[in-house]
Structure 1
Amino acid sequence: MRYLFVICFLLQFYVAPAFAQAYKYHTVKKGETVFSISQAYNIDEEDIYKYNPDARNGIEINEKLVIPISGSENKPAQNVNIDFKEHVVQRKETLYSLSKQYNVSIDEIKKYNKQLYSKELQTGETIRIPIERKAEAAQTKPKESILNRNKPSENPAIQTKKTREHIVLPKETKYGIARKYGMTVSELEDLNPNVEVLQPGMMIRVGTDVLKDEPVIITDERFHFYEVKPQETLFSLSQRFGVSQDSLMKLNPGLVDGLKSGMVLKVPEKENPDYDPASAISYNPNLENKIDLSGEISNFKTKQLVLMLPFHTEKVEEDSLATYKDVILNERVVRISLDFYSGVLMALNKAKSLGINTDLQVYDTHQNSSEVANIINTHNFNNVDVVIGPLIQTTTEIAASKLENRNIPVINPLSNSSMNGYRNLFQSRPTDELLRKVMLDYISSHAEGKNIIIIADGKSYQVKNQLSQRLPSAKFVNPTDNFVADNKIVNLLQPGLPNWVILESDNINVVSSATSALNRLARDYDITLLTTNKNSAFESDIISNNHLGKLKFHYPSVDREYDNTRTEDFINDYVAKYGIEPNRFALRGYDLTLDILLRLASADSLYDSFERYPGYTEYYESKFHYIPNTTGGFINDAVYILELDEDLTINDAK
């Protein structure tokens, strides 16, 4: 009776303030910032920081923010809203001319295009112009009673689950309640869709299973609650919080049934200072530690390997090899698959010489997602250690999703596209974004004592902004009509100093004119040419390799340059087996497969190998170092910075 009285008292005490200030959750979408969110809700940025102090350190996609949406702390609604018009900057346009054209102040334009506080308008750049419009009449909704707001969900799928009532106690959180009843926060929110902010005395729906350890609120300062994000794994969490996977299991008995998104875990209060999920592609000190796994072989169990590639055997007519030869000649993806496969077989032979036996199963995916799903559904994958392939992004994601619940690693061999996150998906080829990030780190760390000049066209404004933030003293050259003239550069060069010129463009005319001009100026100045993205424009026949060599061209790369002397033994063995020299896809198949087999032979599993051997591995043309990817799964962050010398040899940059 006394307990019921206390609950009623709390209910009376908290119902009144509940209507003075209301809140809602906002899920952060791609491209949103704290500023844009504050504008959408007509509140100050400080209002968001007040309820979400961690937002000062940045916000992430799918992160939930508490937004005050009514009450005395909110500003009164304005009688105007802001629309925006996207404007592509034309030649000779200025902030002044745009302010006159659109009848807005220069400060207003800068307010919604913050890069303009530190740099001038760039031709081809797209900016947002604020345009006022009258607000539509607000549709006011009657306030719901606390009973209506807390009634159970009407979703029939949720109603079929057994639930019970729970009265919220002071200081209880969704994390604590979800953990107490063995639920995820999402499941708790699904049962109570109208409850955005918990108040003591509220009655909510919960599950019926109560964990033996009922940590409703953690008072031990060494630990706190953490909600598992999509595609996080025990391995990535152990790295994030600097504890072993076994320790996480002991702290969270519910993990015996597996880890899932939304689960609430008890974790150490302090995170591993070397782990930064917001910049998982940052420089990693383990990349300085090269390891040779051939001397660490201890697991001699036969490795179960599956190779899934698009061979398109369905196009072979009965008893007709000539037809398939035509397919090979006409379809690049088939040629790549066969070359890669030949490298895989060479790696299996090498592994066998080291005492590693492999059972290889090969499947033709037909470059079709349905076929990939069919292969997995109709064959036994229970004992498979690793799947290599499929070749392209979409089929790889299907394979990873089908095998995720069995935690079978799926290794994509060649794609550099950002992929949907699955906790068992390994992207062995760094993305273009990662290559650019590594090159930016390299430039920033070596910029001291250099005169930095940045040549970037309008399409490259994003990387130009990144460079300007990292290199505040850099000078800029803007191409005119896709042309870079000598006189635009010469006045910025410094005699007696190393001049680093960073060229960012995929336009052949810009690259050609800039490299030609720099080559002429290099007679009188010390010039080094760099780029964060060696795209096809640099490979054009119009671009002189002699010019690039004279300019000591630096660029990021996934692979080392093909070197006959380094790979002589492999080439001889390959020629003896196939009658032709290997290409880069054959070398990639060899390097990737041998790395996987050595990792499996030196640990209990692929995941275990990362904990035992945190350094990087390197073979003929590729190196591997997998880290948790921000989107889920793992990505190889081992990247080469290469330098083209004047004699046209390519070496690792110093």
Structure 2
Amino acid sequence: MRTLILFFVFFSSWAFAQKNNFIEHKVKAKETVFSIAKKYQVTPFDIYRLNPDSREGVQENTVLLIPKAGSNGSTATHKVAAKETLFGIAKKYKVSVSDLEKWNKDSIKDGLKIDQEIYISKPNSDKKVVTEEADFPPVKPIDVVKVEKVKTKSATFSHSVLAQETKYGIATKYGISVEELEKLNPQIVAGLKIGEVLTIKTSKESKTVVDSIEKYEVQPKETLYSLTKKLNISQEELIAANPELKDGLREGMVLVLPSTKSPNDTFYSAKSIVNLLNTVDKKKQKELVLLLPFNVDKITSDPSKTQTEHLRTNKFLNLTLDFYAGALMAIDSARVLGLPVNVRIYDIESSKNTSNVASVIAKNDFSNVSAVIGPFQNSHVENTAHLLSKYDIPVISPLSKEKGLALPNLYYAIPSEDRLKANLFNYCSTNNGNVIAIISSKKTSSKNYLNENYPDVKQASFTDKGELNVASLKTQLVKGKTNYIIVETEGSGTILKVTNSLKTLQKEFDIQMVVYEVYSALNFEGIPMKNLTDLKMMYPSAAKVIETPEELIFAKEYKKVNNVLPNAVAVKGFDTTFDTILRICQEEGFAESALKYKTEQVENSFDYSNEEGSNNNNGCYLLFYDNDLTIKKVQ
């Protein structure tokens, strides 16, 4: 299993050093690329890039170039978040907008894009990366007025009453009074019942910016067009906030910048991806527990089927084994890296309604456990989180798409459908797209979702025969913009007609097809794949596609060990386990790390945030069907 060191390369985002940012290493007898990488705390892939011949092995006395761990070179970059503008980025880093435009001349000529990386300082430029406030040049056009007030923030949790718990103990745990607890849960006035689920609300006062007005002084030779590009807003928005612009733009005018917040901005705050390998604390031993539903006793005691038949027919067992195979590879990689983690794996016997998880926890010592992954089913992972809440142990739900109780120590590793959709709509909005939805009459929930959350999205009409009204749709399309067409219909025949119509309209308009998910009707053999690739069909996804050399090495090594290529569950097992190991090995522990840092592993990203008391993973991607018949990442 030592060859599995290859797998940790996918998590490394260390930048390669330039010139003096590497050291020379003379290979000693019996040394390997892996042992050398471990010695210098870099990845094998770092060494491969600087020493391509080392892929075939290294010989004694060979001299290798080794990048210094954590070196960043002299170039600083910034990943663009939703609704960010050049103006705002320049303000953040205290550089001028003109420098940003100069350093990113080609990449931003068509405007900023979400997750695009832009330079905030470049090597050999006339600007340097500075770290102290005094070094920053003043940014002339910025004048910000902030209005602050004390605002009460509240978080809502659910708590399941455990044996021997008291109202005073529960109230104290959440920092509220017994009276508040009883007011929220009148049924407990007469007493508590074991297993009863209580509603908990905590609140705190914080000084929060509730209004922010930004003003901009018009510079010489600037035009309305150049301003809208620089500030990443439309002319209509700028004129609406500054009616005097109808009479023309003049040098020295002070403009009010309209707010760029959308209803979904409060839903999720984007974080930059970090590599937690750089900040691992190796001083203290950590304990990780995996609760996996193998159901071994049930399988071995079942006289109706052999174990081979169970492996062939039991889908839930195969899902567990796939996750386990990926988790084992992550555990082995952590060992080779020298991460101080002891891992225990328990077999959880579970069905839809029953589980022995309470018995497993009662029979084993969990007092020093740093995190728990599993079980899989939502009700059982909720129960696990309840039982382990007395130790404040983070419990990660690795595969469930359901979002149940909001528990302080429960973390959902699968992004919610709402977050996936919000990511999609934010992308369309950021690209100033024209969004039109083709939703059949039977998809009432989809219509209601749009009406409640995105009322500005246009909705196409259908004829009396239930077919798309193409003539009406054409009037809704806009030339000069990307028209994002959301298709939510049932039946492959309808989809075929819709995609054929969209392809015809592509001769006049820029059109991209969008779906919320790749549902079965889209894979019907009667729908030509060319229809979907020509329309660059785009959809939100919790996982990206494996395509980089590092990720392909993972697939290759997984196949070497397991004789098959990894499926999505196996990769999820690897990603979730390795990510959890890295987080519990941070000095601040899992919980704080989860709220502070976004990470990216082989296929999955982990970007936890607390939303109304629920710890959800907001790491998601946008993928599209390309003309070469492959699926690629949009962002």
State the TM-score, normalized to the length of structure 1: 0.56
Inter-partner Cα distance in structure 2 for 1:396 and 1:318: 25
Match of 2:588 among 586, 598, 604: 604
Q: Per the alignment, do residues 332 and 563 of structure 1 end up closer, same or farther by CA in structure 2, a change over 3 Å counting?
A: farther
Q: How does 1:125-164 map to 2 (within 5 A)?
A: none
CA contact (8 A) 1:453 1:477 kept: no
**Is 1:560 matched up with 2:544?**
yes
Classify the secondary structure of the residue corresponding to 1:374. Answer: helix
User: Residue 359 of structure 2 corresponds to which residue in structure 1?
Assistant: 374
User: Residue 646 of structure 1 corresponds to which residue in structure 2?
Assistant: 627
Inter-partner Cα distance in structure 1 for 2:474 and 2:186: 68
User: Residue 529 of structure 2 corresponds to which residue in structure 1?
Assistant: 545
Classify the secondary structure of the residue corresponding to 1:367. Answer: coil
Match of 1:419 among 379, 404, 407: 404
Inter-partner Cα distance in structure 2 for 1:317 and 1:193: 44
**Is 1:520 matched up with 2:501?**
no
Give per-residue Cα distances to partners, 1:564-600, cap 9 Å, x unaligned. Answer: 7442221232233222222211111111111111111
- Identity across the alignment (%): 26
Q: How does 1:495-534 map to 2 (within 5 A)?
A: 497-534=481-518
Deviation at 1:290, TM superposition (A): 1.1
Q: Per the alignment, do residues 355 and 333 of structure 1 end up closer, same or farther by CA in structure 2, a change over 3 Å counting?
A: same
Match of 2:311 among 308, 315, 328: 328
CA contact (8 A) 1:490 1:521 kept: yes
CA contact (8 A) 1:557 1:641 kept: yes
Inter-partner Cα distance in structure 1 for 2:489 and 2:344: 44
Classify the secondary structure of the residue corresponding to 1:429. Answer: coil
CA contact (8 A) 1:299 1:604 kept: no
Classify the secondary structure of the residue corresponding to 2:484. Answer: strand
Inter-partner Cα distance in structure 2 for 1:455 and 1:636: 29
Deviation at 1:427, TM superposition (A): 0.2
**Is 1:617 matched up with 2:612?**
no
Deviation at 1:523, TM superposition (A): 3.8
CA contact (8 A) 1:626 1:634 kept: yes
Which amino acid counterpart does residue 303 of structure 1 have in structure 2?
A: K
**Is 1:406 matched up with 2:386?**
no
Inter-partner Cα distance in structure 2 for 1:638 and 1:191: 38
Match of 1:183 among 173, 178, 188: 178
Inter-partner Cα distance in structure 1 for 2:513 and 2:463: 16
Match of 1:307 among 290, 297, 304: 290
Q: How does 1:165-204 map to 2 (within 5 A)?
A: 182-187=177-182
User: Residue 389 of structure 1 corresponds to which residue in structure 2?
Assistant: 374
State the TM-score, normalized to the length of structure 2: 0.58
Q: Per the alignment, do residues 273 and 577 of structure 1 end up closer, same or farther by CA in structure 2, a change over 3 Å counting?
A: farther
Name the Cα RMSD after superposition. 4.0
User: Residue 617 of structure 2 corresponds to which residue in structure 1?
Assistant: 636
Inter-partner Cα distance in structure 2 for 1:316 and 1:189: 45
Q: Per the alignment, do residues 533 and 578 of structure 1 end up closer, same or farther by CA in structure 2, a change over 3 Å counting?
A: closer
User: Residue 234 of structure 1 corresponds to which residue in structure 2?
Assistant: none
Classify the secondary structure of the residue corresponding to 1:316. Answer: helix
Inter-partner Cα distance in structure 1 for 2:325 and 2:312: 17
Give per-residue Cα distances to partners, 1:162-210, cap 9 Å, x unaligned. Answer: 9xxxxxxxxxxxx9xx99x95341336889999xxxxxxxxxxxxxxxx
Give per-residue Cα distances to partners, 1:370-426, cap 9 Å, x unaligned. Answer: 312221122221111111111111211111121122211111111111211211110
**Is 1:445 matched up with 2:430?**
yes
Q: Per the alignment, do residues 305 and 480 of structure 1 end up closer, same or farther by CA in structure 2, a change over 3 Å counting?
A: farther
Q: How does 1:340-359 map to 2 (within 5 A)?
A: 340-359=323-342
Q: Per the alignment, do residues 577 and 640 of structure 1 end up closer, same or farther by CA in structure 2, a change over 3 Å counting?
A: same
CA contact (8 A) 1:456 1:479 kept: no
Which amino acid counterpart does residue 623 of structure 1 have in structure 2?
A: S
User: Residue 210 of structure 1 corresponds to which residue in structure 2?
Assistant: none
Give per-residue Cα distances to partners, 1:262-315, cap 9 Å, x unaligned. Answer: 56x6633547999x9x969724231xx110111111244332111112212123
Deviation at 1:622, TM superposition (A): 0.5
Classify the secondary structure of the residue corresponding to 1:651. Answer: strand
Q: Per the alignment, do residues 524 and 330 of structure 1 end up closer, same or farther by CA in structure 2, a change over 3 Å counting?
A: same
Q: Per the alignment, do residues 189 and 514 of structure 1 end up closer, same or farther by CA in structure 2, a change over 3 Å counting?
A: closer
Unaligned segments of structure 2, at least 5 residues:
1-151, 159-165, 190-196, 213-260
Inter-partner Cα distance in structure 2 for 1:620 and 1:638: 13
CA contact (8 A) 1:306 1:360 kept: yes
Classify the secondary structure of the residue corresponding to 1:382. Answer: coil
Inter-partner Cα distance in structure 1 for 2:369 and 2:318: 26
CA contact (8 A) 1:485 1:517 kept: no
Classify the secondary structure of the residue corresponding to 1:285. Answer: coil
Q: How does 1:227-376 map to 2 (within 5 A)?
A: 261-262=200-201, 267-268=205-206, 270=208, 282-286=267-271, 289-317=272-300, 323-368=306-351, 369-376=354-361
User: Residue 594 of structure 1 corresponds to which residue in structure 2?
Assistant: 578
User: Residue 51 of structure 1 corresponds to which residue in structure 2?
Assistant: none
Q: Per the alignment, do residues 424 and 322 of structure 1 end up closer, same or farther by CA in structure 2, a change over 3 Å counting?
A: same
User: Residue 151 of structure 1 corresponds to which residue in structure 2?
Assistant: none
Which amino acid counterpart does residue 617 of structure 1 have in structure 2?
A: T
Classify the secondary structure of the residue corresponding to 1:411. Answer: strand
Task: Point out the more displaced range, 349-358 or 634-643.
Answer: 349-358
**Is 1:627 matched up with 2:596?**
no
Deviation at 1:603, TM superposition (A): 2.4
Classify the secondary structure of the residue corresponding to 2:561. Answer: helix
CA contact (8 A) 2:458 2:476 kept: no
Q: How does 1:475-490 map to 2 (within 5 A)?
A: 476-478=460-462, 483-484=467-468, 486-487=470-471, 489-490=473-474
Q: Per the alignment, do residues 489 and 186 of structure 1 end up closer, same or farther by CA in structure 2, a change over 3 Å counting?
A: same
CA contact (8 A) 1:482 1:509 kept: no
User: Residue 564 of structure 2 corresponds to which residue in structure 1?
Assistant: 580
Inter-partner Cα distance in structure 2 for 1:514 and 1:396: 42
CA contact (8 A) 1:299 1:603 kept: no
CA contact (8 A) 1:424 1:633 kept: no
